[in-house]
Chains A and B, each alone.
Chain A
Amino acid sequence: MTPVLNVSNLTTRFKSRERNKWITAVDDVSIQIGAGEIVGLVGESGCGKSSLGRTIVGLERQQQGHVVLDGTDLASLSGRALRERRRAIQYIFQDPYASLSEWQTVGETLTESFVIAQKVSPDQYDARATRLLDQVGLPTQMKDRFPRELSGGQRQRVAIARALAVEPSVLICDEPVSALDLSIRAQVMNLFLDLRRDLGLGILFIAHDLALVRQAATRVNVMYLGRIVEEGTSEQVHRHARHPYTRALLASVPQADPRIAARKGFVTLAGEIPSPVNPPSGCRFHTRCPLVQDICTRVPPPVQGEGGHRFACHFRFADEVLDQIHQGYVHAG
């Protein structure tokens, strides 16, 4: 399958404000997304997952690497041609309260997108808006409403309709349901599943909720301090994770079944994600890794694995060893 989006060796750096030093937010990251595929990207805040999404869509400038969309390397384009091509990648933000203009009705918001995209003729705007609203599960009357009159879930649906208005092939969804109530989350998640199937969209799903990603995505990438530390199918990453960080992340999620939760207690990973201004030497996870060895502090780990399941670690720990992380490894940080 040719990916609709092929990101290779992408690197993004920022100038840090306080110390005027370079921060590598995204470090040599490669990700492929097929048409009709949802790819998950998980990690703690500060790991660079949003920076990666923002770089792909052009909100941040890349220093190195390639973003190839439907076979076209975006680096080969510039100016208007780049802007037009890039429109095929749409971004859905976490906060639908901030991403919609409060002065425009839903209909006006959609019309604006039609005008920019120039894919439908003006006499078709109204019919197209109706169809888009229907597609995201909103009634036609919503066209005359302002964002303030809508609930959080409805606003996120409008944001999705606006993204679809330019007929994109890729959606970058950055924590798209984190701000929504539990009972509404499922409705919006199911909308993403439908869009992927019905429109063949490729979706990069950025989230910190591992359970959500496991169910939505076919493939999952785990990011730590700018790098992908493990990638594989949803099943491989969630049931057979090989990187100690992935294990620790999974073990940190509190279990909703009190029979399991009472037995398990809290599995705590030591400390916090280090500053990217001064990343640790060797394996960047070594300062928090419960299984750290001497080599990890000095040498960056190789990427190993097979069958599409890859992880960046010096070791290939046995399941019994990795399982100890789940069984309540407490590290005095």
Chain B
Amino acid sequence: MTTQNVVEVSDLSVDLLTKGGALRPVDRVSFAVGRGETLAVVGESGSGKTVMNFAPLGLMPVGVAVQISGSFRIGGVEIAGMAENRLRHIRGRSVGVIFQDPMSALNPLRRIGRQIAEVAERQRGLTTMQAERQAEDLLALVGMSDPAQRMKQYPHELSGGLRQRAMIASAIAGEPPLLIADEPTTALDVTIQAQILALLQSLQKKLNMGIVLITHDMGVVASMAHRVAVMYAGRIVEFGDVADVLVTPRHPYTLGLVNAIPREEDLSGSPFRGIPGLPPTMGAPVEACAFAPRCDVVMPVCRTRRPPLQALPQSSVLVACPVGIAQAGQRP
């Protein structure tokens, strides 16, 4: 069982050491993703969904002091706390990364083809000629017309959608078994988003990759992912099969997110449904449910104790809410 998981995370915490004290953007999370499987991680800004995946890979902004505890294994190899010179071999070979903004990932001064070929050379030991051929194949694979011509272009000569395709090509050039995609379509139009999501799905089938898809769009979750982790204030508050979590949300926060999606039957001019209050600001870890101040079914215990993530009986779902658990017991 464990050998099939491309990534296994257990009890992972990330602390940022700042002048104002320690912040904990990620607080004791655990999850795993198998080959060919897509896990969506949803949450709002500051929920820790990006830091959870990027900090262990050494992809934090320069100058941020990060302390990682717990375990983050990719293909059975522990990378939590690994030194940068070793992480460099993990990134690209064991895990490909797709960022929201392709311009931040592509080198503006180098041709597209060279950047992709370089990954294949470094990570797979191909010769320059082999790698160039491989890069051209990859550009065709990600749906770019006239790949030979594209090879010679610079990132700024491409549209947002094409840049995203070029970045995907470079992310999969090392043939990694795991792909981490951080809001890969947020900056794109819905029409181009559909193209990129369809591309990721077909690449996943072809290469049998596990995908961690970080997003805030429930539409993207529903159409792409098999399982979903809902994060709030650095913790996973609900986890399970997409078909269970999105159809019957158990955590009040998940319920709020799902309810906030405009529905077909909402009339023009009718009020929008949201979640009252403000998202939490990052701070020191709290011994309470972080959602309690915004929760409409809050109980006294929620304000004093962190609700554990518990499995629901006869279900794929884990939920960190005593009310969600109790309700699930009442209507199985």
Q: A182-B216, A184-B274 are in contact. Are A268 and B191 (CB under 8 A)?
A: yes
Inter-chain contact A255/B222, CB cutoff 8 Å? yes
Inter-chain contact B274/A185, CB cutoff 8 Å? yes
B159 within 8 A of A: yes
A21 CB → nearest B CB, Å: 18
Within 8 A of B (CB), among A123-164: 151-154
Q: A254-B219, A254-B223, A258-B243 are in contact. Are A186 and B194 (CB under 8 A)?
A: no
CA distance A193 to B219 in the complex (A): 24
CA distance A80 to B261 in the complex (A): 45
A252 CB → nearest B CB, Å: 4
Inter-chain contact B220/A254, CB cutoff 8 Å? yes
Inter-chain contact B189/A44, CB cutoff 8 Å? yes
A11 CB → nearest B CB, Å: 24
A181 CB → nearest B CB, Å: 4
Which of the candidate stretches A56-64, A69-77, A259-267, A316-324 sits at the interface with the other chain? Answer: A259-267
Task: Flag B140-178 by CB within 8 Å of A: 1 or 0 each.
Answer: 000101000000000000011110000000000000000
Chain A residue nearest to B267 (CB atoms) is A215
13 A/B residue pairs, CB under 8 Å, sorted by A: A182-B216, A183-B275, A184-B279, A185-B260, A186-B275, A189-B272, A208-B190, A211-B262, A214-B268, A254-B219, A269-B194, A272-B161, A273-B189
Q: Which residues of A contact B267 (CB under 8 A)?
A: 215
A253 within 8 A of B: yes
Inter-chain contact B262/A214, CB cutoff 8 Å? yes
What is the total number of residues of chain A having a CB less than 8 Å from a CB of chain B? 52
A248 within 8 A of B: yes
B67 within 8 A of A: no
Q: A259-B243, A261-B222 are in contact. Are A252 and B258 (CB under 8 A)?
A: no
Inter-chain contact A181/B279, CB cutoff 8 Å? yes
Q: Which residues of B contact A259 (CB under 8 A)?
A: 243, 247
A210 within 8 A of B: yes
Which of the candidate stretches B76-84, B118-126, B195-203 sits at the interface with the other chain? Answer: B195-203
Inter-chain contact B269/A193, CB cutoff 8 Å? yes
Using a CB–CB cutoff of 8 Å, the interface residues on chain B facing chain A are 44-45, 143, 145, 159-162, 189-195, 197-198, 201, 216-224, 242-243, 246-247, 256-258, 260-262, 266-276, 278-279
Inter-chain contact B262/A212, CB cutoff 8 Å? yes
Q: A183-B256, A215-B272 are in contact. Are A208 and B219 (CB under 8 A)?
A: no
Q: Which 6 A-B pairs have the closest CB atoms?
A: A186-B274, A254-B219, A183-B275, A186-B272, A266-B198, A261-B222
Q: A181-B279, A268-B198, A272-B159 are in contact. Are A210 and B190 (CB under 8 A)?
A: yes
Q: Which residues of B contact A255 (CB under 8 A)?
A: 219, 222-223
Q: Which residues of B contact A217 (CB under 8 A)?
A: 268
CA distance A208 to B162 in the complex (A): 19
Chain A residue nearest to B294 (CB atoms) is A183
Q: Which residues of A contact B44 (CB under 8 A)?
A: 181-183
CA distance A212 to B193 in the complex (A): 17
Inter-chain contact B268/A256, CB cutoff 8 Å? no
CA distance A233 to B269 in the complex (A): 12
Given contacts A182-B216, A217-B268, A272-B161, 20 further A-B contacts (CB under 8 A): A181-B279, A182-B274, A183-B257, A184-B279, A186-B275, A193-B269, A211-B261, A233-B268, A234-B268, A253-B190, A253-B219, A254-B197, A254-B220, A256-B221, A256-B222, A256-B261, A257-B247, A260-B222, A261-B223, A269-B191
